[in-house]
Amino acid sequence: MKKWLIALASVFMAVTLAACGNKTVATTKGGKITESAYYSSLKSTSSGKQVLQQMILNKVLEKDYGSKVSKKTVTKQYNAYKTQYGSQFKSVLEQNGMTTSSFRQEIRSNLLLKEAVKDNDKVSNAELKKQWKTYQPKVTVAQILVAKKSTAETVIKKLKKGESFTKLAKEYSTDSSTKNKGGKLSAFDDTNTTLDSSFTKAAFALDEGKYTTTPVKTQYGYQVIKMLNKPAKGKMSDHTKALKERIWTADMSSSTKLKSVVSKVLKKGNVSIKDSDLKDVLSDYLSSSSTSK
C-alpha cells in the first residue's frame, strides 16, 4: 500500500513528541539537550509533522475501529509475512528499520485503516459489476515442486501413466511444508500476492481434476499443478461480500481514496491541536478552524 503518511516505524522513534518537559535527552560538553528543545526543533520539520499526523490518526482509528481488529487477526497476518519471507524475514525487517513489535503495530494500523475504508468508502453497484467480470472464487490446488525441468517432466510422464499425484508429491517434491499432504495448498484467489504469478496463471487455467502437462517455471523452480477444487462462479449476488473485499483491498493502494477516507475519519475525530505552531498540521484533511479549538 502507498504510504502517504510516514511509516509507523518512525512513530516509535519519535514518541517524545508527546512529551514536552525539561527532562534531558542528551548531554554534551557544549551543554544539554532537553525534551522541550528537542520537541521545538522536531515540530518545525516535515518529518516531525508527519509523525504527529500519524499519531493523531492512530488514536482516532483505535477509538473508532479498535474493537474490530483482534490480536488474533494481527498475528495471522504477521505469520503470513513471516512464512512468505522465511529465513530472510529478520533481515527484511532490519532493512526497513523495524522490529517485530513495530511491524505488528504497522499491521494493526493498516487493518484499522482498512476498517475505516470499509466504513467510509461505499461501494456502488457499477463497481461490483466491474469487479465481477474478472472474479474467480477461491480454488484449491496441489503442487509438486522440483529443481529441474527434466524432473518435472518425469513426474508428468508418471501422472499420464496413472500414478497417484499424492504419491509423487511425497516422492519428488522439495516443498517440505506440503509434500506429505499430497502437495495441497491453502485455497486462494487472484488477489493472492504471495504466490508466483506464473503459478496462479497456470492454476486458474486448469479444470477441476486436471494437471499441468508441461512444467511451470516459477521463481522457486519447476512446478506441476493439479486443480483439486474449482467452484463455479455462480451469481454475482452470491459473492457480494467477496467483491467488496476486493474493491476495498484495491482502495488501500490508492492514495486518493485513502486521503478521502482519512479526511472523513479525522473530521469525526474531535481533533483539537493545542500547539499554535502546529495548528495547520492537518490542513490537508481539515479546515484550520476545525483544528484550532
Please count the other Cβ atoms lying within 10 Å of the Cβ belonging to residue 47.
11
Please count the other Cβ atoms lying within 10 Å of the Cβ belonging to residue 69.
20
Average pLDDT estimate for 68-77: 95
Q: What's the confidence (pLDDT) of residue 81?
A: 87
Please count the other Cβ atoms lying within 10 Å of the Cβ belonging to residue 263.
15
* Residue 21: pLDDT band with limits 50, 70, 90: low
Question: Residue 144 forms beta bridges with which residues?
Answer: 224
The per-residue pLDDT for range 119-168, each reduced to its tens digit, is 998 899 999 999 999 888 899 999 999 999 999 999 999 999 999 999 99
Distance CA 13, CA 33 (A): 17
pLDDT, mean over the chain? 88
pLDDT at 292 over 90: no
Is pTM beyond 0.75? Reply is: no
The per-residue pLDDT for range 150-159, each reduced to its tens digit, is 999 999 999 9
Q: What's the confidence (pLDDT) of residue 177?
A: 87
Average pLDDT estimate for 33-41: 90
CATH of 140-229, one of 3.40.50.2300, 3.10.50.40, 3.40.50.1240, 3.40.50.300: 3.10.50.40
Query: 2 and 255 in contact (C-beta within 8 Å)?
Result: yes
pLDDT at 180 over 90: yes
Q: What's the confidence (pLDDT) of residue 12?
A: 37
> Where along the chain do its domains lie?
8-120+254-291, 140-229
Would you state the cell numbers that stand for residue 78, as one nine-digit string?
504477521
